[in-house]
Chains A and B, each alone.
Chain A
């Protein structure tokens, strides 16, 4: 089905470069369709309105930070009682400093909050979004928590974030010790095996 959708996108939205991404050979899970980030609005609009595989519902927008690039996944669903199918539509953003995508709020109203969350967590900006603010973190929070290189800010509005006196270091030390013990155990098991 994903092959059909990819070829349908390619024939209707020029420049979308849709391709099917299958899970790796030693892997598992869902396959998805990858499109060019500059045509995301056109692709979404087409997917919602086409006759063959209409997707009236946008369930969630999930941003993933792969360090070299950001991936924004749109989870679409048909909500058709006879023929229920869903699609992971992906697009990649190489620009780490200023990642930007066209907002799809005019297509699905659900995108409003989802894009705000995506901006809040990953830091992808959405062009022409009607209400482009943070949603879960405070408006003046620094950094984007779900990026892989995120570091919590030291001071927020004069308050110390994670003050040492209130941190539970015993647990952390225990975690470190546990990891060492596990590695040690694994090593010994391997030695015994060979």
Chain B
């Protein structure tokens, strides 16, 4: 058995001899570290190259958005929700506005629903492209990052045209969407999708089937379905462990029950184990293919009509509370709104998938090499804006 195949326990057993005992070394990874995807500090205690313990320290980006929400009216909260997960702002807006609509009982016009689906799936692609690019960057491959940003840029350009902003959109309003899509937009998206399918094949040959990449991610950070349930993991992390759970399929919202798509899960192909970094990664890549399918079907469903429903000028939610969740690119985002019938919410609480996934790091880290730990952080794809809120 080679030293790098041993866990920390075996290594300690090996070095029972007093003179051979190694001292644990504390290393701070972050808060400014390229591999932590933002301002996350992970305090790692290492035994030579093996991580014995990892303690994430979060909160560097804490803006207490939940407190702010208590003093802002319901429409004004949407820009705040944007700033949680700034890489998938459209999806966050969708969860929030649909939670409010559910409380109000607002009917959203069909065209608005189709546009919402198109836009949120495009956002999912953009977010997964970012995850793909930075993950390759973490593992030492620079060019996939540039290819991914090339495609992401095209999506952002479309978002800029439709909403006026590149990153934080304020595009989904309560009752519908702010701006209508034109035929030019439709043909732009069609062109993008035609080109993008070829790009996906390119990523597959460039990264997904690359021997060096596979060696880095196979059998690293394995999570079973039970672990995922225990820690409350959702999204690609849960699906990477082989559990076919997708809220778009299980509890369809919008018009997801009218389109045909598959839920990709980790299958342990190319020499990997189900639930390891590779499977979490490949689930995202396959999800992009599914998103392309969904958008194509949605473009055919577009019919002329209004894009915003009837909503009163001053929104007052009826008394009560709601917990509403949806499938966002990084997992299930839930919003708990407590209303006392005022113009402002009494309490807004966000269930952030990234927060849940960060809590798994101390569980996954022990026994890993430091370089594998970097691969593990990248594979759960966290955005610190959402962790800290």
- B binding-site residues for A, Cβ under 8 Å: 58-59, 62, 64, 66-67, 102-105, 229-232, 243-245, 250-251, 317-323, 325, 332, 334, 336, 338-339, 341, 346-347, 349, 351, 355-356, 358-359, 363, 388-389
Contact = CB atoms under 8 A, between A and B. Distances in A.
A113 B319 contact: no
A63 B67 CA distance: 12
Contacts of A176: none
Contacts of B334: 59-60, 75
A146 interface: yes
A29 B322 contact: yes
Contacts of A63: 349
Q: Is the interface of A mostly helix, strand, loop or mixed?
A: loop
B332 A137 contact: no
Interface string A77-121: 001010010101000000000000000000011101100010001
Interface stretch (A5-13, A19-27, A34-42, A162-170): A19-27
B230 A84 contact: no
A28 interface: yes
Given A28-B318, A58-B232, A64-B346, A73 B336 contact: yes
A73 B320 CA distance: 14
A135 B352 CA distance: 14
B295 to A, nearest CB: 25
B18 to A, nearest CB: 30
Contacts of A135: 58-59
B contacts with A: majority SS: mixed
A136 B358 CA distance: 13
Nearest to A107: B230
Interface string A49-83: 00000001111101111000000010100010100
B66 A29 contact: no
22 contacts: A23-B321, A26-B341, A27-B318, A27-B320, A29-B102, A29-B320, A30-B320, A57-B229, A57-B232, A59-B325, A60-B334, A75-B334, A79-B245, A81-B245, A108-B232, A109-B231, A109-B359, A110-B232, A110-B359, A112-B359, A113-B355, A117-B355
Contacts, number: 114
- Interface pairs A-B: 9 shortest CB-CB: A29-B320, A27-B319, A23-B320, A27-B320, A110-B232, A60-B351, A113-B359, A62-B349, A136-B59
Given A59-B232, A81-B245, A113-B358, A138 B59 contact: yes
A181 B62 CA distance: 33
A145 B67 contact: yes
Contacts of B102: 28-29
Contacts of B244: 81
Nearest to A60: B351
A110 B321 contact: no
Contacts of B67: 145-146, 150
B323 A26 contact: no
Nearest to B363: A109
A113 B64 CA distance: 16
Contacts of B325: 59
B323 A75 contact: yes
Residue among A60, A73, A137 with max Cβ neighbours from chain B (10 Å) = A60
Given A113-B358, A117-B355, A137-B62, 11 more contacts: A27-B319, A28-B105, A29-B103, A29-B339, A58-B232, A59-B325, A84-B250, A109-B359, A110-B232, A110-B356, A136-B64
A110 B230 contact: yes
Residue picked from B104, B231, B341, most chain A C-beta under 10 Å: B231
Contacts of A59: 232, 325, 332, 334, 351
Nearest to A24: B319
A84 B244 CA distance: 13
Given A79-B229, A84-B250, A109-B231, A23 B319 contact: yes
A109 B319 CA distance: 33
A136 B388 CA distance: 7
Contact of A136 (B62, B103, B231): B62
A113 B356 contact: yes
B64 A145 contact: yes
Given A57-B229, A108-B232, A135-B59, A121 B66 contact: yes
B319 A26 contact: yes
Contacts of B363: 109
B341 to A, nearest CB: 8
A151 to B, nearest CB: 12
A20 to B, nearest CB: 14
Contacts of B338: 64
Nearest to A73: B336
Nearest to A147: B67
A86 to B, nearest CB: 7
Contact of A24 (B64, B320, B322, B347): B320
A28 B67 CA distance: 23
Contacts of B358: 113
Nearest to B64: A145
Contacts of B64: 136, 145-146
A146 B67 CA distance: 6
Contacts of B388: 136
